[in-house]
Amino acid sequence: MYQKIKGTYDLLPNDTKKWQSLEKTIRSVSKIYNYEEIRTPIFENTELFHRSVGEETDIVSKETYDFIDRGKRHITLRPEGTAPVARSYIENKLYADKLPVKKLYYMGPMFRYERPQKGRYRQFAQFGAEAFGSTSPLLDAEIISYAVSVIKALKIKDVEVHVNSIGDQESKVMYKEALIAYLEKDVQTLCSDCQKRFETNPLRILDCKVDKDTELLKNAPKPLDYLNEESKTHFNKLLAYLDAMEIKYVIDRNLVRGLDYYTHTVFEVNANLETLGAQNTICGGGRYNHLVSSLGGPDIPGVGFAFGLERLMFALESVNFKGTPDYLHLYLMILGEEQKEDGIRLLNRCRIGGLFSDIDFLDKNLKAQFKLADNMNARFIAIYGANEKAKGEINVKDKDTGKEITIKSSQLYNHIITELMNPNHSCETCEEDSCDDCE
Ligand code: AMP
């Protein structure tokens, strides 16, 4: 028997219902913020990630799924979405679009060869957003507000927004020098990864999971203390805009985030929920002013975020999220082979009219079909047997009201629609994700 690959998972129908609801909420919040969806390929040239995410990052140096295709090209399964979206933005010249600030979002699978555990997978899904074309801190604030609104729309509580600034290139260089000078004599005490990072990418030492809580790192210089005037102004304005948007945040002076392309704002959203386990960062993002130009595009800045959808699903367990209710409007019982053609004509008419409808395919008896209708959570059960066919009628039972009547079979669709529109009814037909009446 074959088994799924380590670090992957199947989403079975009970799960996909919840995922669809999650995706629906994400799409509606994206519409509210006027972000448009973009879909890029799952694999890209390996070089793209080396140039953008950075050679020395864990993602690129240890975690990518790389292969050489039959045309001898170096290919990588995308480990994140920003670089592919930036590549597409440049290649499709979206910067020449009539909207000078291009606001995009994406959802889809990413691949990282990480040690699997709860909330950490080798194939996982991200929802991310990227906004290109403005250096204004207002766009940073909007991106954070968009992320927070998704969390609010999902009714997830106990989240903390952590923000920091690593400054522009000049500030980053100044900070890097200070950090190197500070760590130089104690490099040997750092973990082996950080000893390498000291040579290649010292900034990353600050958010090393192993060394983070050591006295050495706690007392290390912080990026905020090395911001030049322009970077300080950017950060202060961001905080003022967040205040104006009534978004609560904490300034996290240690936050640098793992990827090379960030400048100025970096942020993360952590959820302090038992259902999440150790992997409690549900969203991370930041500004990247030079990513587009470093990939050969024009000098256009950007800012974005990415959520891990599995972690959002775990967070949703804490609010007892059920997803779209599972129901049918109509279960049609066709009794007897001779009734099948007329019966499926009725079924077809109901489906064309948009009623969620189903029938039996195994010639089950009446009792078994009632059970099936129950399992499918059908509101209306219609019985169409030889008697009904002879009289041009059909028997319809409303499971919600208990009402049972016999009507002209040609009226089946109209009858159900009329009953569904009855304002006294609620739950299964109201199509709300969480209807007070049906809870
Ligand atoms: P990053 O691209 O590393 O900033 O990650 C953004 C978000 O994606 C994180 O905050 C997580 O929610 C999620 N994420 C990253 N790596 C994984 C993984 N291996 N498995 C599941 N979720 C992940």
CB 207 near ligand 1, within 6 Å? no
Burial 218-251, CB ≥16 within 10 A → b, else e? eebbbbbebbeeebeebbeebbebbeeeebebee
Please report the atom of ligand 1 found closest to the CA of residue 128: 6
CB 26 near ligand 1, within 6 Å? no
Beta bridge partners of 268: 162, 284
Q: Whose CA is nearest to atom 16 of ligand 1?
A: 120
Please report the atom of ligand 1 found closest to the CA of residue 283: 10
Cα 307 to ligand 1 centre (Å): 7
Task: Give residue 425's pLDDT.
Answer: 52
Q: Give SS3 for 399.
A: coil
Task: Give residue 429's pLDDT.
Answer: 43
Residue 439, CB-side half-sphere exposure with 13 Å CA sphere: 10
What are the distances in angstroms from CA 316 to CA 165, 274, 439? 30, 11, 17
Q: Whose CA is nearest to atom 21 of ligand 1?
A: 120
CB 311 near ligand 1, within 6 Å? yes
Cα 303 to ligand 1 centre (Å): 17
Whether 194 and 211 have beta carbons less than 8 Å apart is answered as yes
CB 124 near ligand 1, within 6 Å? yes
79 token code pair: 């480990």
Q: Whose CA is nearest to atom 14 of ligand 1?
A: 308
Cα 11 to Cα 431: distance, rounded to the nearest angstrom: 23
Cα 75 to Cα 46: distance, rounded to the nearest angstrom: 5
Cα 107 to ligand 1 centre (Å): 13
Residue with tokens 């047997």: 385
CB 123 near ligand 1, within 6 Å? no
Q: Where do the structural domains in the chain lie, given as residue ranges?
A: 13-168+228-319, 328-421
Task: Give residue 434's pLDDT.
Answer: 41
Cα 218 to Cα 267: distance, rounded to the nearest angstrom: 19
CATH of domain 13-168+228-319: 3.30.930.10
Please report the atom of ligand 1 found closest to the CA of residue 112: 19
CB 253 near ligand 1, within 6 Å? no
The pTM (predicted TM-score) of the whole model is 0.88
CB 308 near ligand 1, within 6 Å? yes
Cα 439 to ligand 1 centre (Å): 33
Cα 29 to ligand 1 centre (Å): 21
N residues, the chain? 439
Cα 102 to Cα 298: distance, rounded to the nearest angstrom: 14
What are the distances in angstroms from CA 37 to CA 127, 308, 416? 10, 17, 36
Please report the atom of ligand 1 found closest to the CA of residue 114: 19
Whether 173 and 273 have beta carbons less than 8 Å apart is answered as no
Q: Give SS3 for 30.
A: helix
Whether 352 and 418 have beta carbons less than 8 Å apart is answered as no
Cα 305 to ligand 1 centre (Å): 11
If one counts every other C-beta atom within 10 angstroms of the C-beta of residue 66, the result is 13
CB 284 near ligand 1, within 6 Å? yes
345 token code pair: 């004509």
User: What are the DSSP calls for 180-248, one per residue?
Assistant: HHHHGGGGGGS-HHHHHHHHH-GGGGGG-TTTTTSHHHHTS--GGGG--HHHHHHHHHHHHHHHHTT--
Choose which residue among 59, 106, 110, 267 to substitute to test ligand 1 binding: the one with the highest number of ligand atoms within 8 A of its C-beta: 110
Task: Write out the chain's pLDDT in tens, 439 residues.
Answer: 999 999 999 999 989 999 999 999 999 999 999 999 999 999 999 999 999 888 878 888 889 999 999 999 999 999 999 999 999 999 999 999 988 999 999 999 999 999 999 999 999 999 999 999 999 999 999 999 999 999 999 999 999 999 999 999 999 999 999 999 999 999 999 999 889 889 888 888 887 878 877 889 989 999 999 999 999 999 999 999 999 999 999 999 989 886 778 999 999 999 988 888 888 899 999 999 999 999 999 999 999 999 999 999 999 988 888 777 789 999 999 999 999 999 999 999 999 999 999 999 999 999 999 999 999 999 999 999 999 999 999 999 999 999 999 999 999 999 999 999 886 654 444 444 444 444 3
Choose which residue among 107, 124, 164, 314 to substitute to test ligand 1 binding: the one with the highest number of ligand atoms within 8 A of its C-beta: 124
Choose which residue among 114, 120, 204, 291 to substitute to test ligand 1 binding: the one with the highest number of ligand atoms within 8 A of its C-beta: 120
Task: Give residue 237's pLDDT.
Answer: 97
Cα 67 to ligand 1 centre (Å): 22
Cα 189 to ligand 1 centre (Å): 29
Arch. (CATH architecture) of 328-421: 3-Layer(aba) Sandwich (3.40)
The DSSP H or E segment spanning 109 is strand 102-111
306 token code pair: 């990415």
